[in-house]
């Protein structure tokens, strides 16, 4: 039995990750949004008796070096031993999609085209002759509908006998002569070549930096300068490639007229309307929060009652005070995860997963582009902000799809201000539970206002420019319930595997600290700020320290630090003003350790420190501001 490695590559939103899920058993996140997959994911399956490793590469428009997604795709193609390339192509955008197919063909590797979304192409009136397309390209073309699993079995069988392309991309005689001169020089002077020589020549002319650097200190440098000058830095090559794509499309496809306005256009006329679109978006997200609060509170109450009874049992069952404190701390940690976080987190992530797969998020990006532009970012950044409501770590990671460093820094800072599920646990479990959801909604609105103002300030402070947004608006799709459920699990499993153990360990540690009265020293250090400036109980100092590790700990440890036997008694010690000030501080102050680590990787050490310090200062200022306003009211 041998193992075969297959790489899936295609343009954003072509259904590549959906196909991966069909083959590898739903181990990859799919998102109906360009740039959602940034790093590659691996999975395994069998084709007959052969073990197959599937590599899902990030969505990219070309084999260039312009953004991180393209870099990851190209590095994977040439650093990994790929046996077969599967080029997933959106049949409804065939003209644009096959340009990258022509580039992949130049690699000379066994290759198959998976022509996806054939149903959507037909709805648009595009009829594709797959046999003609296969003959024109010199590769096998398999029509599929990945979301329904149609054609996937035939695709897998085709992969077993995949062969290199029988044709190559031939340009005009004048362009070919310029390429050939450089190609010959590269062949003679560069020994270590992972790329086909002709492709190295073309890519260096187009400005592909890794290959240009290889040529820089060789006799080919002058030949490259000459070729770039005569071919307009590769623009002439690209023009002919565009023309070739058009010719292939016209030879292999037919268009039929669609007389009536389809339902998708009717829906978009409302959801993307310059007035109605914002109204619908506001109502939808307001409805999301209402569902989360109304659905989560009864479940939370049930679990609180259960764990209150467990606590009462522990009092009589464990006479040793230290053992009792440790045991109760562990039980309270589990109770906080199950009884407070999950009732709110699960429905929220499920709805967001549904919005992703149905295709609504790109519409939100389109609507929000004008607003986000004033903040130094563009509508594509909306994925960072929306994902941020689940977890700040993937939210910051999602900024790597942005083009400019300035835009990445601004988006990373703003994403760290979005109340993640852990912060939402505090908002919902403290303010929502004791004061009601009518207090919670203004908190989220206040958060949005702060994010907008912060972005506008950063846009003026940071040097550089942000490129304009280029965004595909994908068709609406009816997501599979199974996919949405599994996707929700994939988003929440980090909480279950990582946060819950930390919650339990943190709760136990706090119990030990409280038992030996070590928390008094921590609270003493923070007392001037927390009590003197913000008017909070001095006992919350130790809570905020542990909150840097996981924000969920702030809610669990709050009632323990206040010396209460249950979270339901917090309102007996803290006033409405103190609960709101505390929540505002937690909403904005220092990101968790995991987020800081990702910030360092994405924007560098210097800017990660700026963001960490900046969020702390912002939290102090805003909390004090809220305290003053409430006092006046």
Q: Give which of 226, 258, 341, 334 is closest to 292, Cα–Cα.
A: 341
Sheet holding 140-143, edge to edge: 41-47, 50-56, 3-10, 84-90, 111-116, 140-143
State how many domains the chain has. 3
Q: Report the pLDDT averaged over residues 561-575.
A: 76
Is residue 463 one of the residues assigned to a domain? yes
- Give the bridge partners for 43, in sequence order: 54
Is the domain of 10 the same as that of 137? yes
Pick the residue with more confidence: 477 or 443?
A: 443
Q: Report the pLDDT averaged over residues 405-409.
A: 83
The model's pLDDT over 292-345, given as tens digits with 9 standing for 90+, comes to 767 777 887 788 788 888 888 888 888 888 898 889 888 877 876 676 567 767
One DSSP character per residue, 492-537 reads HHHIIIIIHHHHHHHHHHHHHHHHTTTHHHHHHHHHIIIIIIT---
Is the domain of 140 the same as that of 200? no
Q: Give the containing element (helix H, strand E) for 10.
A: strand 3-10
Q: Report the pLDDT averaged over residues 144-157.
A: 86
DSSP code at position 128 = E
pLDDT at 148 over 90: no
Is the domain of 440 the same as that of 559? yes
pLDDT at 30 over 70: no
Q: Report the pLDDT averaged over residues 261-272.
A: 79
Residues 6+ apart with CB under 8 A from 499: 337, 341, 422, 550, 552
Is the domain of 461 the same as that of 539? yes
| Cβ atoms of residues 430 and 582 within 8 Å | yes
Q: Give the containing element (helix H, strand E) for 52.
A: strand 50-56
Q: Give which of 413, 415, 411, 445 is closest to 427, Cα–Cα.
A: 445
Beta strand 111-116 pairing with 50-56: unpaired
Q: How far, in Å, CA of 400 to CA of 402, rounded? A: 5
State which of 224, 255, 286 marks the end of a domain: 255
Of the ranges 110-114, 372-376, 519-523, the best mean pLDDT one: 110-114
| Cβ atoms of residues 141 and 134 within 8 Å | yes
Is residue 383 one of the residues assigned to a domain? yes
Is the domain of 446 the same as that of 530? yes
CATH number of the domain enclosing 183: 1.10.287.1770
Q: Which pLDDT score is estimated for 29?
A: 44
In the chain, % of residues over pLDDT 90: 13
Is residue 269 one of the residues assigned to a domain? no
What SS3 state is found at 151?
A: coil
Q: For 16-30, 184-198, 483-497, which range has the lowest pLDDT when averaged over its residues?
A: 16-30
CATH number of the domain enclosing 41: 3.40.50.300
Q: For 251-260, 324-333, 398-407, 577-586, which range has the lowest pLDDT when averaged over its residues?
A: 398-407
Is the domain of 503 the same as that of 586? yes
What does pLDDT average to over the chain?
81
Q: For 24-28, 88-92, 404-408, 461-465, which range has the lowest pLDDT when averaged over its residues?
A: 24-28
Measure the CA angle with vertex 192, ends 186 and 194; round to 5°: 90
Q: Report the pLDDT averaged over residues 285-292.
A: 77
pLDDT at 82 over 70: yes
Token pair for 510: 């706090």
pLDDT at 68 over 80: no
Is the domain of 524 the same as that of 545? yes
Q: How far, in Å, CA of 619 to CA of 557, rounded? A: 20
Q: Give the containing element (helix H, strand E) for 424.
A: helix 421-426
CA dist list (Å): 381 to 389, 401, 404, 412: 13, 9, 12, 9
Q: Which pLDDT score is estimated for 32?
A: 45
Residues 6+ apart with CB under 8 A from 467: 378, 403, 404, 407
Confidence of residue 62 (pLDDT cuts 50, 70, 90): confident
Q: How far, in Å, CA of 543 to CA of 341, rounded? A: 17
Q: Which pLDDT score is estimated for 33?
A: 45
Token pair for 232: 């307009």
Is residue 260 one of the residues assigned to a domain? no
Confidence of residue 403 (pLDDT cuts 50, 70, 90): low
Q: Which pLDDT score is estimated for 426?
A: 84
What SS3 state is found at 247?
A: helix
Is the domain of 219 the same as that of 306? no
Confidence of residue 617 (pLDDT cuts 50, 70, 90): very high
Please give the model's pTM, rounded to 2 decimal places.
0.60
Beta strand 3-10 pairing with 84-90: parallel
Is the domain of 65 the same as that of 98? yes
State which of 131, 160, 189 marks the end of a domain: 160
pLDDT at 131 over 90: yes
Q: How far, in Å, CA of 525 to CA of 520, rounded? A: 9
Q: Which pLDDT score is estimated for 25?
A: 60
Q: Which pLDDT score is estimated for 138?
A: 92
Which alpha helices (H) appear in 50-196, and where do they start and end? 68-79, 94-105, 118-123, 130-137, 152-160, 173-189
The model's pLDDT over 166-178, given as tens digits with 9 standing for 90+, comes to 988 778 888 888 8
Q: For 69-73, 237-241, 251-255, 558-562, which range has the lowest pLDDT when averaged over its residues?
A: 69-73
Q: Which pLDDT score is estimated for 142?
A: 94
Confidence of residue 248 (pLDDT cuts 50, 70, 90): very high
Q: How far, in Å, CA of 556 to CA of 245, rounded? A: 59
Confidence of residue 27 (pLDDT cuts 50, 70, 90): very low
In the chain, % of residues over pLDDT 70: 85
Is the domain of 26 the same as that of 154? yes
Is the domain of 185 the same as that of 146? no
Of the ranges 175-189, 362-376, 453-467, the best mean pLDDT one: 175-189
Backbone φ and ψ of 257, nearest 5°: -70, 140
Q: Which pLDDT score is estimated for 339?
A: 67
Q: How far, in Å, CA of 464 to CA of 231, rounded? A: 30
pLDDT at 369 over 80: no
Q: For 159-163, 378-382, 467-471, 489-493, which range has the lowest pLDDT when averaged over its residues?
A: 467-471
Is residue 264 one of the residues assigned to a domain? no
CB atoms within 10 A of CB 460: 7
Q: How far, in Å, CA of 157 to CA of 217, rounded? A: 46
Is the domain of 225 the same as that of 133? no
State which of 201, 226, 255 marks the end of a domain: 255
Residues 6+ apart with CB under 8 A from 183: 197, 198, 200, 201
Q: For 49-53, 181-185, 313-317, 376-380, which range has the lowest pLDDT when averaged over its residues?
A: 376-380
Q: How far, in Å, CA of 613 to CA of 600, rounded? A: 13
Q: Which pLDDT score is estimated for 495?
A: 61
Length reported for the chain: 633
Q: Report the pLDDT averaged over residues 52-72.
A: 76
DSSP code at position 33 = S
Q: Which pLDDT score is estimated for 341?
A: 61
DSSP code at position 186 = H
Q: How far, in Å, CA of 285 to CA of 361, rounded? A: 12
Is residue 18 one of the residues assigned to a domain? yes
pLDDT at 438 over 90: no
Is residue 266 one of the residues assigned to a domain? no
Is residue 262 one of the residues assigned to a domain? no
Q: Report the pLDDT averaged over residues 453-470.
A: 73
pLDDT at 613 over 90: yes
User: Domain containing 441: what range?
Assistant: 276-632
pLDDT at 564 over 70: yes
- Give the bridge partners for 142, in sequence order: 114
Which class for 354: exposed (0-12), middle (13-18), buried (19 or more C-beta within 10 A)? middle
Token pair for 360: 């609504």
Q: Which pLDDT score is estimated for 567?
A: 66
The model's pLDDT over 342-360, given as tens digits with 9 standing for 90+, comes to 776 778 778 877 887 888 8
Q: Which pLDDT score is estimated for 549?
A: 65
| Cβ atoms of residues 567 and 328 within 8 Å | no
């Amino acid at each position: 039995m041998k193992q075969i490695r297959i790489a899936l590559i295609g343009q954003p939103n072509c259904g590549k990750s959906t196909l991966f899920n069909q083959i590898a058993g739903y181990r990859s996140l799919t998102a109906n949004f360009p740039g959602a997959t940034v790093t590659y994911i691996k999975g395994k399956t069998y084709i007959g008796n052969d073990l197959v490793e599937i590599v899902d590469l990030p969505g990219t428009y070309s084999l260039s070096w312009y953004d991180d997604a393209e870099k990851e795709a190209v590095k994977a193609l040439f650093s990994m031993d790929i046996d077969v390339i599967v080029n997933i192509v959106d049949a409804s955008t065939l003209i644009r999609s096959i340009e990258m197919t022509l580039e992949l063909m130049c690699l000379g590797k066994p290759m198959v085209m998976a022509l996806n979304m054939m149903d959507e192409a037909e709805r648009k009136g595009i009829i594709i002759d797959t046999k003609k397309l296969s003959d024109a390209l010199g590769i096998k073309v398999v029509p599929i509908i990945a979301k329904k699993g149609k054609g996937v079995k035939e695709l897998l069988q085709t992969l077993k006998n995949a062969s290199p392309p029988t044709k190559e991309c031939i340009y005009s005689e004048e362009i070919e002569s310029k390429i050939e001169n450089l190609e010959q020089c590269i062949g003679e002077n560069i020994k270590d070549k992972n790329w086909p020589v002709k492709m190295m020549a073309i890519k260096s002319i187009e400005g592909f930096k890794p290959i240009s650097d290889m040529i820089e200190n060789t006799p080919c440098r002058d030949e490259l300068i000459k070729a770039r000058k005569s071919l307009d830095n590769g623009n002439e090559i690209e023009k002919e490639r565009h023309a070739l794509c058009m010719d292939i499309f016209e030879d292999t496809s037919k268009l039929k007229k669609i007389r009536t306005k389809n339902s998708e256009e009717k829906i978009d006329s409302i959801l993307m309307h310059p007035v109605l679109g914002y109204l619908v978006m506001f109502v939808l997200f307001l409805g999301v929060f209402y569902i989360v609060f109304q659905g989560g509170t009864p479940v939370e109450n049930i679990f609180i009652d259960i764990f209150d009874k467990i606590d009462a049992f522990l009092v009589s069952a464990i006479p040793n005070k230290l053992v009792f404190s440790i045991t109760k701390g562990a039980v309270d940690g589990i109770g906080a995860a199950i009884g407070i976080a999950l009732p709110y987190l699960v429905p929220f992530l499920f709805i967001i997963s549904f919005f992703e797969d149905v295709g609504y998020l790109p519409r939100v990006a389109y609507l929000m582009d004008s607003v986000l532009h004033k903040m130094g970012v563009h509508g594509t950044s909306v994925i960072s902000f929306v994902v941020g409501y689940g977890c700040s770590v993937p939210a910051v990671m999602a900024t790597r799809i942005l083009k400019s460093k300035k835009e990445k820094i601004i988006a990373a800072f703003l994403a760290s201000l979005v109340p993640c599920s852990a912060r939402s646990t505090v908002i919902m479990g403290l303010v929502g539970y004791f004061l009601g959801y009518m207090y919670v909604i203004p908190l989220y609105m206040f958060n949005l206002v702060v994010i907008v103002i912060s972005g506008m300030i950063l846009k003026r402070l940071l040097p550089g420019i942000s490129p304009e947004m280029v965004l595909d608006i994908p068709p609406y799709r009816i997501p599979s319930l199974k996919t949405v459920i599994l996707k929700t699990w994939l988003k929440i499993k980090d909480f279950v595997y990582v946060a819950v153990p930390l919650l339990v360990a943190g709760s136990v540690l706090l119990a030990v600290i409280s038992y030996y009265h070590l928390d008094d020293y921590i609270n003493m250090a923070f007392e001037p700020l927390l009590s003197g400036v913000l008017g909070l109980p001095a006992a919350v100092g130790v809570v905020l320290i542990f909150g840097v590790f996981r924000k969920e700990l702030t809610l669990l440890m709050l009632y323990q630090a206040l010396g209460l036997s249950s979270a339901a008694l917090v309102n007996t010690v803290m006033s409405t003003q103190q609960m709101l000030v505390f929540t505002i501080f937690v909403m904005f102050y220092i990101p968790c350790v995991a987020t800081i680590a990702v910030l360092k990787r994405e924007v560098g050490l210097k800017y990660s420190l700026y963001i960490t310090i900046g969020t702390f200062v912002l939290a102090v200022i805003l909390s004090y501001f809220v305290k003053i306003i409430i006092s006046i009211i």
